[in-house]
Amino acid sequence: MHYGMVIDAKYCISCHCCAAACKIENNLPEKTWWNRIMTVGGDTMEAPAGVHPRLSLSFAPVACQHCENPACVKVCPVGATYRDPDTGVVRQDYEKCIGCRMCMAACPYTGVRSFNWDEPKNGTDYALGDADVPAHQKHVVEKCTMCWHRIARGEEPACIEVCPSRIRFWGDLDDPESDVSKMLASRQHTQLLPEMGTKPSVYYLV
């Protein structure tokens, strides 16, 4: 089994629903975002690229790419980040992480790994999201888990079902009958920074 995602980014409207759903579902600390919507070009979020009247506006939701050849896994000195052999999900063990941040230096996808630079607090007085989410820890690295707690129960990751444009898909890339496999078979697609050779499990339709 090899879980992956397909994102039809052409129709992304930058509503940040997937990012917010991720933040709540995983009880993310206030200043942490595992999933972020990037504005392609442009100076600030949601600002078009180019010069009037030749403007363009496009977006790319970016989180951990769950690479088949992950740069982060190779460099972790204690094996706190590892690729789950049964699902292909790149996981992070908060209990093991020594906070050396070698994985953050190794990951080519700028900013998908986040360090808890102080005591993680979510901005409310109570925990949010799913009860099965492991507690966040100070001074460790964390990132998208592909909603490990949900896929373990046979559910989709939280970012998939909230998308109002219905452009996020999740499934088994090894199964030719899965939605994601069919989509990749029929549509042109790309991956982020393919030249890095990391073989991401997240595909963007073009």
Partner 1 sequence: MTNHNSEAVMDELDMSAAKAPAREAAGARAKAKSGAALNVAIGVSAVITVAGIALWAMQISGGMVQTAMRNLDSWGLYITMFMFFVGLSAGGLIISSVPKAFGIKGFGGISKVAVMTSIAATVAAIGFVVVDMGQPFRVWELFVYSNLGSPLMWDIIVLMTYLILSCVYLWAQVQAEKGKVSAAALRVISVIALVCAILVHSVTAWIFGLQQSHEMWHTALLAPWFVSSALVCGTGLVMVVVIAMDKAGYLKVQRANLVKLAKLLGVFVCVDLYFFGCDLLTEAFPAAGGMAVVDMLVSGPLAPFFWGEVVLSLVALVIAFVPALRTNPLLVVAGICAIAAIFCKRVQLLVGGFQIANIDYPAVLTPYTVTDWQGNMAQAYSGLVYWPTALEFGIAVGVIGLAFLVLFAGIKFLPLKPADEK
Q: Which residues bind partner 1 (CB under 8 A)?
A: 16, 19, 30-33, 36-45, 47, 60, 62, 71, 74-80, 96-102, 104-111, 113-119, 138-140, 192-193, 196-197
Question: In this complex, which beta carbon is closest to partner 1, that of residue 47 or of residue 152?
Answer: 47
Read out DSSP for 144-192?
--SSHHHHTTTPPPHHHHH-TT--EEEEETT-TTSHHHHHHHHS-EE-S
Q: Which residue has the tokens 């790419």?
A: 65
* 10 three-class SS: helix
CA dist list (Å): 133 to 91, 106, 129, 153, 176: 13, 26, 8, 12, 31
User: What are the residues whose beta carbons fall under 8 Å from the beta carbon of 98, sequence distance 6 or more?
Assistant: 77, 78, 80
Chain Cα centroid distance, residue 25: 13
Give just the sign of the alpha carbon dihedral 169, 174, 179, 184: positive
* Angle made by CA atoms 77, 100, 195, in degrees to the nearest 5: 75
Distance CA 93, CA 141 (A): 9
For 17, the enclosing helix (H) or strand (E) is helix 17-25
